[in-house]
């Protein structure tokens, strides 16, 4: 009789980014899952309702996960909050901001032209200089064409990405997206974007 060889999956060392992405996406984390000294009152409930989410956390090296969570707590990226039956690990406003920055790094525009031009016009006040610089860097990263100091152009759909930036940077009224069907002398713009 042959014995099956059981291969254990190797545990992953978590990073601040991987933990924030799980928490930012709304993945549930009871502190008792990673801190075994805490009472696991919700054990039957967790097994039924959040099995997939527990698997996400269990793929990490638990000792390293505890270490990363403690460091994130000190940096005020997460907080431990009590609910009725267990202590929960929750992302803070600072953590959400960092999470959103990670998501910005992953954004890309789909290079498919629908025949409309998008003009991005912004007037972000000096008191929000960091937000303005961050917004400008994003536009450059996404290869928007600078027409004037605060006016950029793209032929690709970007409304969702711009709205996301408005929310992240908290400058919702200072950025406008104008969708136009034609621009004067647009052959240079078409050439720039390879259309």
User: Residues marked as binding for Mg(2+)?
Assistant: 123
SS3 87: strand
User: Per-residue b/e over 45-73, b at no fewer than 16 CB within 10 Å?
Assistant: ebeeebeebbeebeebeeeebbebbeebe
The structure tokens 């919702």 sit at: 172
For the chain, list the strands marked E by DSSP.
78-82, 87-91, 113-122, 145-148, 151-156, 175-180
Residues annotated in the binding site, as ranges?
A: 123
Contacts of range 56-61, beta carbons closer than 8 Å, 24 or more positions apart = 56/22, 56/27, 57/22, 57/27, 57/29, 57/33, 58/33, 59/9, 59/11, 59/12, 60/11, 60/12, 60/13, 60/14, 60/18, 61/11, 61/12, 61/13, 61/14
């Amino acid at each position: 009789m042959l014995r099956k060889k059981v291969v254990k999956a190797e545990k992953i060392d978590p990073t601040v980014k991987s933990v924030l992405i799980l928490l930012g996406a709304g993945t549930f984390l009871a502190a008792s899952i990673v801190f075994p000294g805490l009472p696991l009152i919700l054990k039957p409930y967790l097994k039924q309702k959040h099995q997939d989410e527990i698997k996400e956390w269990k793929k990490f090296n638990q000792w390293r996960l505890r270490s990363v969570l403690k460091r994130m707590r000190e940096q005020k990226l997460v907080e431990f909050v009590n609910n009725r039956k267990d202590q929960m690990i929750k992302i803070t406003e600072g953590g959400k901001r960092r999470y959103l920055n990670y998501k910005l790094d992953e954004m890309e525009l789909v290079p498919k032209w629908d025949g409309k031009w998008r003009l991005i016009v912004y007037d972000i006040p000096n008191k929000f200089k960091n937000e303005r610089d961050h917004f400008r860097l994003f536009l450059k990263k996404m290869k928007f064409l600078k027409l004037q100091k605060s006016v950029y152009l793209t032929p690709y759909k970007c409304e969702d990405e711009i709205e996301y930036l408005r929310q992240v940077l908290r400058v919702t009224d200072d950025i406008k997206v104008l969708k136009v069907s034609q621009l004067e002398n647009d052959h240079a713009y078409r050439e720039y974007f390879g259309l």
